[in-house]
Chains A and B, each alone.
Chain A
Amino acid sequence: MAAEPTILPEAATVYWRPRADGERLDRRGRLWTLTTVAHIVPFVLTAALLCALSWAALPVALACLAHAYVIPALYAQRGANVVRPRPKRTTAAAEQTALGLLGDLVGHDARELHAQTGLVMERGKLGTWLVGEAGALLVRGRKVWCYCVQVKHPDLPGADRIAHLLLALRSDEQGFATVANLAFAGSPRRVRARMRDSMRPALDRAAKTQR
């Protein structure tokens, strides 16, 4: 067989990025947490200071607190958005055909979870992945990393989009995490709250594999 140990060829298009590994992911995760804290703390301190100076500044203090809440919330929303399904641009027949191929690639449990949530769960060395049509979530320990990654072909059925990502992930997990753009890293709870109801069981199940 002509198979060879695969390095994802797409990784060459992001040659400036160091190859993702567990340690780098954890470091980036900590950096995200620090960034979130750096967004929150100044606004909260400013709000406290304003209130201490004068109660007349209360409206501005409330605006500061709103910023402290909204900015991290927007980041978490950005994370949840990576697995939001894209508008369908193909026929139902094409979707069914694509689903058949995807079904051949995954096991019974993953097929069932996909039917329920639209996400395919895949265990890797870096953690547990949830692969969607235009992005993937990596649940690792107590954090989730949300990646934007997709195949740039507007007319592919959703299941084919997932199959593209799944095959790339299976051939080179670290390369996959290198090519993908990190949209958010943080608590699964924050992402879960912003995901569609139907998708939440997938994140719950992935989180369970990491306990």
Chain B
Amino acid sequence: MSKLVRMDQTGHTTLAEWAADDPASVEAAVQAFREQLDQGYFAMISTGEGHAEQVKELPVDAPLVILRLPISGG
């Protein structure tokens, strides 16, 4: 199962879980994904050791998609 998690005040919250061969779960995950992007989150996936990429569409075959907030200089 793939997971969509959002980093928040609870540590993190799993917003959706899906299997690539289960269209209903994918659709629910896509919906949750878009809602979070609309709220200003950025979606990130790990692409190997020390590398991450931002995604704007839910990568259905990614095992873990993490939602983060914008950063700024302090």
Contacts and interface: CB of A to CB of B under 8 A. Distances in A.
B31 interface: no
Contacts of B7: 98, 101, 156, 160, 163-164
A14 B46 CA distance: 25
A90 B74 contact: no
Contacts of A135: 74
Contact of A4 (B55, B62, B68): B55
A167 B73 contact: no
B69 to A, nearest CB: 5
A97 B52 CA distance: 21
A99 B58 CA distance: 25
Interface residue tally on A, bucketed by range: 35 or more
Nearest to B12: A101
B39 interface: no
Nearest to B13: A97
Nearest to B57: A2
Interface in A1-59: 1-6, 9-10, 13-14
Interface of A: 1-6, 9-10, 13-14, 82, 90, 93-101, 104-105, 107, 122-124, 134-135, 147-153, 155-157, 159-160, 163-165, 167-168, 170-171, 176, 179-181
